[in-house]
Structure 1
Amino acid sequence: MEVVIRPDGEDIAGIVADVFERLLTDRPDAVLGLATGSSPLAVYDELVRRHEADRITFARARAFMLDEYVGLAADHPERYRNVIERAFTGRVDFPPDAVHGPDGAATDIPAACAAYEDAIAGAGGVDLQLLGIGSDGHIAFNEPGSSLASRTRIKTLTRQTREDNARFFGGDPDAVPHHCLTQGLATIMSARHLVLVATGPGKAEAVHHLVEGPVSAMWPATVMQHHPRATVLLDPAAASRLQLAGYYREVYASKPDWQVL
């Protein structure tokens, strides 16, 4: 796992956008994994700027979302398909039907989850997966206690997650759906490159466990320690609990020019 500590979210967004740009220059038909939440927003804004400057195109790319609420109407503003369209995909040149998400309105949930797994596999797998992390260590909606071998499935959201997401639902945790469909930890780990962004002091404890703690289902993101190519990008506040923060800074500052993230 490579840990990169940068001064602020804007600097982090530029570095992550460089990863996307490099990938899509080399492989215009790459498969991208997209996350919702606040962590990736600055990255999406930077990618939009580069698209508008004709530096990057998504015209041949495909994308898969990490998760979706269960039971929200198709036009609900917080349905993740609508959120990702507002934040990113509707602002660039993805082709129609190139962006896929779990079907939170499905009548047969197990079949919808299996179909989503098949769709990812049929696309050849995800080349670059963008991630955030919850204050309790979840990635996607894999809450504490999730199986490290899990695949796309229905999950019940913890009270903490619903409180964290209440700001998107008028500040009311009870307005946040109780269930979601989410890629499993094993699904996420199948992507070829994982890039996780975390900023702010509220993520410091989760980041400490992610980077320096034991691998445990109680802190689901720790499974990333087993990934052959995982990159974690942090601002100083999110990195404040790391014992080896000085070393991570030294390693990044000393990287050879040819060695990319």
Structure 2
Amino acid sequence: MEVVIAPGDELARLAAEAIETLLTGRPQAVLGLATGSSPLKVYDELARRHKDGLSFARARAFMLDEYVGLPDDHPERYRNVIEKEIASRVDFAPGAVRGPDGNAADLARACADYEEAIAAAGGVDLQLLGIGTDGHIAFNEPGSSLASRTRIKTLTRQTRQDNARFFGGSVDDVPRHCLTQGLATIMSARHLVLLATGRAKAEAVHQLVEGPVSAMWPATIMQLHPHATILVDAAAASRLQLADYYRETYAAKPEWQTL
């Protein structure tokens, strides 16, 4: 696991650079797209690089999760959020970006179909991630099975409170259920890139990087991944006991070594 502590704009540049490097070498790569506030600057940077010539025309992408029961035209439906924040700003081919169907008549079948679609695409090459204040990644809430696959989940009160800002501040308007890639699904991606900023994420980042692997802090499963990159600002890194070491390690990194 590599931990990089830097200002938010630099973190976004590093994540976008990793994606550009991937697409330059493998234009047909499969990306994993996250919602929430963490990847927004990354998407802005990717849109800028697209204007400078970076193409997504042969790439495919899979979303991490989706609310259950939101109308198709709801602005906070994650498919619409991804369309607004990144898909419509670059040149993905029609149908190249997929997400789980939170309005399917058979949700269990929709989850199984989504797993099959990811496998049929050859798996995700680079997965962007954020982290919740309680340590969840995607919508894998505390207590989630470390071997879980795409499934329906009930959102915790904390997650719904954290997301209420996207629903006019009303917790009651945040859906109670979602479809989410499982922890094992996420761990199947070849490169995990997690971004976290702000002091509110400090304890979750501390547990992720330095705590024991536990279903109580689902993101800790990333400690077992062979290629995981954690990009955090100083506030999010404020609880890290080895913060100085992570800074020294990154400063001494060979020029030829990418994320």
TM-score (norm 1): 0.99
Which of 178, 190, 194 lines up with 2:192 in the alignment? 194
Q: 1:64 aligns with which of 38, 62, 65?
A: 62
CA distance in 2, matches of 1:204, 1:26: 35
Distance 1:39 1:251 in 2: 24
Q: Deviations over 1:109-167 (max 9, x none)?
A: 11000000000000000000000000000000000000000000000000000000000
Partner SS for 1:205: helix
In the TM superposition, residue 192 of structure 1 has moved relative to its aligned partner by 0.1
Report runs of 4+ in structure 1 exceeding 6 Å deviation.
none
Give the counterpart letter for 1:227 in structure 2: H
The CA distance in 1 between the partners of 2:50 and 2:257, in whole Å, is: 25
The residue number in structure 2 matching 1:48 is 47
1:181 matched residue in structure 2: 179
Q: What displacement does 1:259 show? A: 1.1
**1:113 alignment partner, SS class:** helix
| Superposition deviation, residue 206 in structure 1 | 0.1
What pairs up with 1:30-109 in 2 under 5 angstroms? 30-54=29-53, 56-109=54-107
What is the identity, as a one-letter code, of the residue corresponding to 2:2? E
Deviation at 1:258, TM superposition (A): 1.3
Deviation at 1:53, TM superposition (A): 1.4
**Corresponding letter in the other structure for 2:45:** E
Q: Deviations over 1:7-30 (max 9, x none)?
A: x21111111111001000000000
Q: Which amino acid aligns with 1:84?
A: I
Distance, in Å, in 1 between the alignment partners of 2:111 and 2:212 is 29
Q: Which amino acid aligns with 2:114?
A: Y
Structure 1 CA distance, aligned partners of 2:4 and 2:255? Answer: 15
**Does residue 1:114 correspond to 2:117, yes or no?**
no
- Is residue 56 of structure 2 the alignment partner of residue 29 of structure 1? no
Deviations 1:7-60 (A, max 9, x none): x21111111111001000000000000000000000000000000111x11000
Q: How does 1:202-221 map to 2 (within 5 A)?
A: 202-221=200-219
- Counterpart residue number, 1:240: 238
Q: Give deviations 1:203-231, integer Å, cap 9, x for gaps.
A: 00000000000000000000000000000
Q: Deviations over 1:66-109 (max 9, x none)?
A: 00000001000000000011111111100000000000000111
Which structure 2 residue ranges, 5 or more long, are not aligned?
none
* AA matched with 1:169: F
Shift of 1:257: 1.2
What's 2:2 paired with? 2
Of 110, 114, 127, which residue of structure 2 is paired with 1:129? 127
**What's the secondary structure of 1:243's corresponding residue?**
coil
Deviations 1:238-260 (A, max 9, x none): 00000000000000000111111
Q: Could you list the runs of 5+ residues in structure 1 that have no partner in the other structure? A: none
Name the counterpart of 2:168. Answer: 170
Matched residue of 1:238: which SS?
Answer: coil
Taking only aligned residues, the RMSD between alpha carbons, in angstroms, comes to 0.4
Q: Distance in 2 between matches of 1:259 and 1:49?
A: 24
Corresponding position of 2:17: 18
SS state of the match for residue 160, structure 1? helix
Instruction: Write out per-residue CA displacement over residues 174-200 of structure 1, whole angstroms, 9 at most, x where no aligned residue.
Output: 100000000000000000000000000
Q: Give the Cα–Cα distance (whole angstroms) in 2 for the partners of residues 174 and 90 of structure 1.
A: 30
Between the aligned partners of 2:95 and 2:254, the Cα distance in structure 1 is: 40
Q: Distance in 1 between matches of 2:107 and 2:56?
A: 30
**TM-score normalised by the chain length of structure 2:** 1.00
